[in-house]
Amino acid sequence: MDARWDTATPYYSRSGLHIEIYDTMTLNSFNDDVSFLIDQAREAGGPVLELASGTGRVAWPMAEAGFEVVGLDLNPGMIAAAEAKRSNYPSAVSDRVRYVQGDMTGFKLDQRFRYVYITYRSFQALLTPEAQQECLRCVWQHLEPGGRLVVNVFDPKLSRCDKGAEGPPEQQTVRNPVTGLEVEQRSIERVNDPLSQTLSMLWVLEEKDAEGNVVREECERLDLRWTYRFEMSYLLELCGFEVLAEYSDFNRSPPAYAEEQVWVAQKPCAD
């Protein structure tokens, strides 16, 4: 096992390279959720709560679409990156957005919402069924009767979930908008635990100058729990939600193995 496991910090737990390239990275690999989530807001109404709101990648377009948004994130560095964008928007938009530091398994806010969403697979950072239920019950408490929830996770590919299964390494190179230098992000090792349905990945990020010399390096550990389709359905039902729809992507394609799970659920109107 690579010795860097001992010094790796949790994903997005500190300010630095990963947060600096976050928007560019997600734009390249995962940005088709924004219009879907805004369409859901138009159907459900506001105000809106985003859990694991990150750098405001979705929250700011949501506010531009006319919705009052509260973004909750555990990481102060992510919130700082989101707040740094505030000056890019007129006050009519900026005044609609509020960021709060908090844990999605135990938050208490001073308002209820018509719509809550958890995108970019952030729900999978909850590593036990108990933590997942705590999150969904917090959502329930903060939703108005008839309010809507959207949750996105990946549908596990079983050949990559077995103990010892590695799969091809993941890698991408993007330009850091802060420094102008290229950053290479690559996975080094992956450890699966089929019993707990969790995986741990060691990621290395290297920022390089024009000559290819590494000027900054960070190591991060990504821990996720995979959740099967029917398990997710039962989990929502257990926590009191009614499933309205399930898709395999943000284009509303029907459920499909080893693609995305995009769940649309509702708190029943009878509180």
Output the pLDDT for position 184: 93
Give yes or no: residues 95 and 193 share one domain. no
Answer yes or no: do 175 and 71 share one domain: no
Report residue 82: phi and psi, to 5°.
-65, -45
Average pLDDT across each block of 10 residues of the chain; the chain has 271 residues. List them in order. 86 88 79 92 97 96 98 95 96 97 96 97 97 98 98 94 77 91 92 95 93 92 96 97 97 96 94 51
Query: Tell me, what's the pLDDT at 233?
Result: 98
pLDDT tens across 51-99, in order? 999 999 999 999 999 999 999 999 999 999 999 999 999 999 999 999 9
22 occurs within a structural domain: no
Amino acid in position 162: D
In a domain, 24, yes or no: no
The pLDDT value given to residue 31: 67
Q: Are residues 209 and 237 in the same domain?
A: no
Give, in order, the Cα–Cα distances in Å from 170 to each of 21, 66, 185, 188, 205. 16, 37, 8, 8, 12
Range of the domain at 135: 32-155+227-266
Q: What share of the chain is helix, strand, coil (3-state, %, to 5)?
A: 30, 30, 40
Q: 176 and 141 in one domain?
A: no
Q: How is residue 257 written in tokens?
A: 């193995």
Using CA atoms, how far apart are residues 99 and 52, in angstroms rounded to an integer?
11
135 and 59 housed in the same domain: yes
> Which two three-digit tokens encode residue 185?
């992000």
pLDDT at position 132 is 98
Query: What does the angle CA 130 – CA 136 – CA 138 come to, to the nearest 5 degrees?
Result: 105
CA-nearest of 203, 201, 59 to 117 is 59
Structure confidence at residue 28 (pLDDT):
63
d(CA 246, CA 231): 13
Query: Tell me, what's the pLDDT at 27?
Result: 72
Look at residue 13 in the predicted model and tell me its pLDDT.
86
Q: Do 148 and 165 sit in the same domain of this protein?
A: no
Question: Which residues, in sequence order, are bridge partners of residue 223?
Answer: 200
User: Does one domain contain both 137 and 258?
Assistant: yes
- In-domain check, residue 26: no
Q: At 31, list the tokens.
A: 């940005």
Looking at the fold, whether 78 and 133 belong to one and the same domain comes out as yes
114: phi then psi, degrees, rounded to nearest 5? -90, -20
Does 77 share its domain with 144?
yes
Is residue 214 assigned to a domain?
Answer: yes
Strand locations in the chain (E): 9-10, 48-51, 69-73, 97-101, 113-118, 143-154, 171-175, 182-193, 198-208, 214-225, 242-247, 260-266
**Neighbouring residues of 176: CB distance < 8 A, sequence distance ≥ 6:** 17, 20, 21, 24, 182, 183, 207
Query: Tens digits of per-residue pLDDT, 33-46?
Result: 999 999 999 999 99
Closest CA to 17 of 214, 245, 256, 216: 216
Q: How many domains does the chain have?
A: 2
Cα 40 to chain centroid, rounded: 17
**Residue 26 confidence (pLDDT):** 81
Q: What was the pLDDT predicted at 29?
A: 66
The verdict on 55 and 90 lying in the same domain is yes
Do 147 and 106 share a structural domain? yes
Q: Are residues 95 and 180 located together in one domain of the fold? A: no
In 3D space, the residue among 197, 38, 211, 215 whose CA is nearest the CA of residue 131 turns out to be 197
**Cα-based distances in Å from 179 to 19, 87, 174, 216:** 13, 20, 12, 11
Buried-state track 205-221, b at ≥16 Cβ within 10 A, e below 16: bbbbeeeeeeebebbbb
Assigned domain for 117 exists:
yes
What's the alpha-carbon Rg for the chain, to the nearest Å?
Answer: 19
155, 8 contact by CB (below 8 A):
no
